[in-house]
Amino acid sequence: MTELSRRRLLAASGVAMTGALAGCSSDDGDDGDDGDRGDEADDEPREDSSVDDGNGDDGDGGSDADAGGTVLGDITIENLDDRSHDLDVLVEFGEGEDGWSSLNHWSSYDLEGRAGESLERDWRDDPARFRVTARLDGEEITSVTPGKWNDPGCLNLLVLIDRDGSLSITSDTAGGPCSADEVPDEDE
């Protein structure tokens, strides 16, 4: 079974409520079918759900990231492989619904085997839409946005090169800039 994210649950609820209320509140009566084919997006390869994927879930079924965004905390890099690797890390912030408008950080690393780094946190510290992209050895690319983790208030990221030399990005919502003392409460 696939995991049902908060965003998809709210979008499905919104579609169901629209269908239920369409006959009661429409002006011209042909308003009822507004495309409940949003399920087709679930069959696509797993990508980040905070990027507008065209499934119509950007209405009132929005997430925390739609309202105020997510704070990007620390980004740490760990190479668990015995071999050295080249790694590029990009941080982009999106200001509009049409895409990513600001490349805020780009660093390149030549990581020795079994080594790690922490990125200098020179990006904005207020909640926003963002995407982090990592490229391993000029080939393998992985991109994530907060939607992958259901748009929490704050995210620390770990860019991980595993023992087989594969790239992944994992998250943590505690510690560093994401500790309870550092992040303002945005449950409004």
The per-residue pLDDT for range 166-176, each reduced to its tens digit, is 999 999 999 99
What's the CATH fold of domain 66-178? Immunoglobulin-like (2.60.40)
Q: Could you tell me the CA-to-CA distances from 43 to 46, 67, 91 in Å, in that order?
A: 8, 27, 28
pTM: 0.61
pLDDT > 90 in the chain, percent: 51
Is residue 109 predicted with pLDDT exceeding 80?
A: yes
**Does residue 52 sit in helix, strand or coil?**
coil
Residues 6+ apart with CB under 8 A from 127: 68, 69, 70, 71, 153, 186
Distance CA(133)–CA(63), nearest Å, equals: 22
Least confident of 24-33, 140-149, 179-188: 24-33
Kindly list the domain boundaries of the chain, sorted by start residue.
6-62, 66-178
State the average pLDDT over residues 56-72: 58
Percent of residues, the chain, with pLDDT higher than 70: 58
Residues 13-32, mean pLDDT to the nearest whole number:
46
